[in-house]
Structure 1
Amino acid sequence: MKKNVLIIGAGGVAQVVAHKCAQHNDLLGDIHIASRTVAKCRAIVESVREKKALKNPNGILEAHALDALDIEATKALIEKTNSRIVINVGSAFLNMSVLSACIGTGAAYIDTAIHEDPAKICETPPWYENYEWKRREECEKAGVTAILGAGFDPGVVNAYAKLAFDEYFDRVDSIDIVDINAGSHGKYFATNFDPEINFREFTGQVWSWQDSKWVSNRMFEVGKEWDLPVVGKQKAYMTGHDEVHSLSQRLGVPNVRFWMGFGDHYINVFTVLNNLGLLSEKPVRTAEGLEVVPLKVVKAVLPDPSSLAPDYTGKTCIGDLVKGVKDGKEREVFIYNVADHKQAYEEVGSQGISYTAGVPAVAAAMLVALGDWDVRKMANVEDLPAQPFLGLLNEIGLPTRIKDADGDRALEFENPALIAAS
């Protein structure tokens, strides 16, 4: 059994991960949090202690300063803390460095988003082939478990797709992943994740997988209204996203698309910023001779996403609309979760978007610790059994529901992992 967790990153998602690891430290063991800004790590530690979140109150919970781009320093911290599981919820620019450190130390690796090169935006699909999948053989040779994209989207939605593929259909024709945040943070304009990463998703091409080939569109070019449980009718736009690039290749489904909800105000502000060149990642020189990156300046003046949590209200709805054939008849199911911003803040001090991203990474860590997902090779979530993951999420804060011809109901799972964890 693998024990002791190193969390890399100190933003809103890292705070969720730390709280949830603390709630299960009887299973996960020691908890260490590392980031370039150690003060942020210490604030998370203090938050966990204030909430009395440690299930084992005598368990180790420590903060560390770390530049995770420094592979040797990361290896040294993994070894110093005897961490056998590393949960990487830092910047997407860190992934390959942290993965290298895990391969070098034998620690299991878990992340929640695809790797990005700071100098490149919207690379050739499928994105996973550009970095992660090139290292499959390296992971397997080292016997290192590397679970990619174990957040919500990517992550839980991949498990929803796997569940539908295995249990609800004989043939899957399409998977449409829909992500609606119907909450309000009360700010004039803000992003729910790191603004730099957030905007990079939207300034390049929108890649979707249609009729078994890659199709390119512009951002906000293709939109439609969705009528979803709890959040009701919401406008969402086809957007490029990580899970499209793995589900299309791993499950062999001919149509995989991702839709994200945006209000008119967000679109207007984004369009102005983009048209002015303020979302560019290319350096410019000011009249005073200073070289600045416009996107980093915008990031600096926008609210820190972790600061949004106290005033965030409303709910999210994220799920998979899957269509295909079962027993010779056409069928469609919507498998989904609804999360509440206020409840997330009350439990872990973060808003609902961070909550939905962080909790699944901890569930993945628990399954690695228990052995269910300790596969000693690289895997996307859809490569792994969905039921233990979704069953665990039911228990620790992100319950799954399904809406189909038989109605809208909670999904329950027989989960041997839960028995072992208890």
Structure 2
Amino acid sequence: MKRNVLIIGAGGVAQVVAHKCAQNNDILGELHIASRTRAKCDAIIEGVVAKGAMKVPGTFSSHAVDAMDSAAVAALIRDTGAEIVINVGSSFVNMTVLDACLETGAAYIDTAIHEDPKKICEAPPWYGNYEWKKRDLCAAKGVTAILGAGFDPGVVNAYARFAADQMDEVTSIDIVDINAGSHGRYFATNFDPEINFREFTGTVYSWQNGGWQENAMFEVGQDWDLPVVGTCRAYLSGHDEVHSLAANYPKADVRFWMGFGAHYINVFTVLKNLGLLSEQPVKTAEGLEVVPLKVVKAVLPDPASLAPDYTGKTCIGDVVKGVKDGKPVELFVYNVADHKEAYEEVGSQGISYTAGVPVVAAAMLVASGEWDAKTMKNVEELDPKPFLTILDRIGLPTRVQIGGLGGEDRAWNA
């Protein structure tokens, strides 16, 4: 049994994590949240208190820390007595926070793959470039590290495992992420603009026919007729979970599809063609050195500010095809989330909600011991059923269409 949680980060996802940890603090124990700017943490805690989110009376404290400083993070873990660290800071800090957990013995959970700020869209093996290099050390020290435990990656990995467990052989996994909501702004990104744009400016990698296939962003599109949100256009995109799922299901084709509207694609294309999405510094006529990508980030709306006006729903799920008893089978395992409902509950929009709720479910399973693996795991390497059970209870219920999209629709455990 592990108790006491330290949340790293103070953005929109961290806000969701804070509320959900508070709603389950009878299981998780004392709560702490830290970022470079303590005032942001204080504001999140004030929101938790205003919503009356704490299930039982208990500690929820704020702290200032530079998450790029592993020694400082380790000191904070010791000072707080945290046995579980939920990292929802920038993906640039994954390795320093993980190192702090290795030093202190705290369990580590994150929601996205590590990124080097000097590199854009690195080639596979993505996890193999960073996190998986620490896998043997986690096992040697008995430290639990659960990688990519948000929604995608995270829940979609569990969906793939859930479907695969019902098949003799998996032939393809297509992850489809559609946000059919509207924030009402001319242009904005649903999470950190810097991370968002970095994700889509390089080569798109998918795992097909037993190897990596390369495409350009927006080169391959497909219409998907999904529950609730209807028919939406999605494009083949590179994503974290493609790598881990390809490693665990190497005989299956693994693809990630993300929905984009024509307006987003137009603005993105103009910004990219003008060089405004570059991470390389340039000098202005006045001699100031600036990074174009960081300038774009500075002028765009803070993703957290979108929440009050966001309407509509998301639909994210896995189309999994395979063979059972010699016959072809297909399942669509999915969730539908509502932006307005997310805002009313925790003050965040639906994209942050779908990323933040699962990592708390993972923390609860580490606390109970069910996912306290004492080594490094990706989500599909863990039993998905207790995870989906908790998600049903805390805000992200799972449904399944038997026979694939448009098939018989039912609860995953029906």
Please, what TM-score do these two structures have when normalized by structure 2? 0.98
- Cα deviations by residue, 1:239-274 (Å, 9 ceiling, x for unpaired): 000000100002224300000000000000000000
Q: Which residue of 2 aligns with 1:11?
A: 11
Q: Which residue of 1 aligns with 2:23?
A: 23
Task: Tell me the secondary structure at the aligned position of residue 343 of structure 1.
Answer: helix
Find the partner of 2:266 among 265, 268, 277.
Answer: 268
Q: Which residue of 1 aligns with 2:206?
A: 208
Alpha-carbon distance between aligned partners in 2 of 1:181 and 1:111, rounded to the nearest angstrom: 22
8 Å contact from structure 1 (residues 247, 253) kept in 2? no
Structure 2: which amino acid aligns with 1:267? I
Q: Which residue of 2 aligns with 1:152?
A: 151
Structure 1: which amino acid aligns with 2:320? V
8 Å contact from structure 2 (residues 121, 202) kept in 1? yes
Q: Which residue of 2 aligns with 1:287?
A: 285
Task: Tell me the secondary structure at the aligned position of residue 231 of structure 2.
Answer: strand
- Cα deviations by residue, 1:305-353 (Å, 9 ceiling, x for unpaired): 0110000000000000011111111111100000000000000000000
Q: Which residue of 2 aligns with 1:333?
A: 331
Task: Tell me the secondary structure at the aligned position of residue 196 of structure 1.
Answer: helix
Aligned residues: 411
Alpha-carbon distance between aligned partners in 1 of 2:24 and 2:255, rounded to the nearest angstrom: 35
Q: Which residue of 1 aligns with 2:33?
A: 33
Question: How far did 1:228 drift?
Answer: 0.3
- Note if 1:305 corresponds to 2:307: no
Q: Which residue of 1 aligns with 2:356?
A: 358
Q: Which moved more, 1:222-231 or 1:117-126?
A: 117-126
The within-5 A match list for 1:182-261 is: 182-261=180-259
Question: How far did 1:224 drift?
Answer: 0.7
Alpha-carbon distance between aligned partners in 2 of 1:39 and 1:312, rounded to the nearest angstrom: 25
Task: Tell me the secondary structure at the aligned position of residue 227 of structure 1.
Answer: strand
Structure 1: which amino acid aligns with 2:203? Q
Question: How far did 1:123 drift?
Answer: 1.3
- Identity rate, percent: 73
The within-5 A match list for 1:131-142 is: 131-142=130-141
Alpha-carbon distance between aligned partners in 1 of 2:70 and 2:130, rounded to the nearest angstrom: 16
Structure 1: which amino acid aligns with 2:139? E
- Cα deviations by residue, 1:103-127 (Å, 9 ceiling, x for unpaired): 0000000000000000111112121
The within-5 A match list for 1:15-164 is: 15-56=15-56, 58-164=57-163
Alpha-carbon distance between aligned partners in 2 of 1:330 and 1:251, rounded to the nearest angstrom: 17
Alpha-carbon distance between aligned partners in 1 of 2:282 and 2:208, rounded to the nearest angstrom: 38
Q: Which residue of 2 aligns with 1:410?
A: 411
**Which consecutive residues of structure 2, in runs of 5 or more, have no partner in the other structure?**
none
8 Å contact from structure 1 (residues 7, 34) kept in 2? yes
The within-5 A match list for 1:338-349 is: 338-349=336-347
Question: How far did 1:170 drift?
Answer: 1.1
With over 3 angstroms needed to count, the CA separation of the structure-2 counterparts of 1:253 and 1:151, relative to structure 1, is farther
8 Å contact from structure 2 (residues 170, 249) kept in 1? no
Structure 1: which amino acid aligns with 2:349? Q
Structure 2: which amino acid aligns with 1:11? G
Alpha-carbon distance between aligned partners in 1 of 2:323 and 2:369, rounded to the nearest angstrom: 34
Alpha-carbon distance between aligned partners in 2 of 1:41 and 1:251, rounded to the nearest angstrom: 40
Q: Which moved more, 1:80-89 or 1:243-252?
A: 243-252
Question: How far did 1:411 drift?
Answer: 1.6
Question: How far did 1:89 drift?
Answer: 0.2
Structure 1: which amino acid aligns with 2:21? C
Task: Tell me the secondary structure at the aligned position of residue 200 of structure 1.
Answer: helix
8 Å contact from structure 2 (residues 98, 108) kept in 1? yes
Alpha-carbon distance between aligned partners in 1 of 2:96 and 2:171, rounded to the nearest angstrom: 37
Alpha-carbon distance between aligned partners in 2 of 1:138 and 1:147, rounded to the nearest angstrom: 14
Q: Which residue of 2 aligns with 1:319?
A: 317
- Cα deviations by residue, 1:17-65 (Å, 9 ceiling, x for unpaired): 0000000000100110100011110010000000000001x20011111
Question: How far did 1:404 drift?
Answer: 1.8
Alpha-carbon distance between aligned partners in 2 of 1:376 and 1:239, rounded to the nearest angstrom: 32
- Cα deviations by residue, 1:272-326 (Å, 9 ceiling, x for unpaired): 0000000000000111000000000000000000110000000000000011111
Alpha-carbon distance between aligned partners in 2 of 1:345 and 1:410, rounded to the nearest angstrom: 25
Give the ranges of 4+ consecutive aligned residues of structure 1 lying more than 6 Å apart after TM superposition: none
**Which consecutive residues of structure 1, in runs of 5 or more, have no partner in the other structure?**
414-422
- Cα deviations by residue, 1:157-197 (Å, 9 ceiling, x for unpaired): 00000011112x11110000000000000000000010000
Task: Tell me the secondary structure at the aligned position of residue 331 of structure 1.
Answer: strand
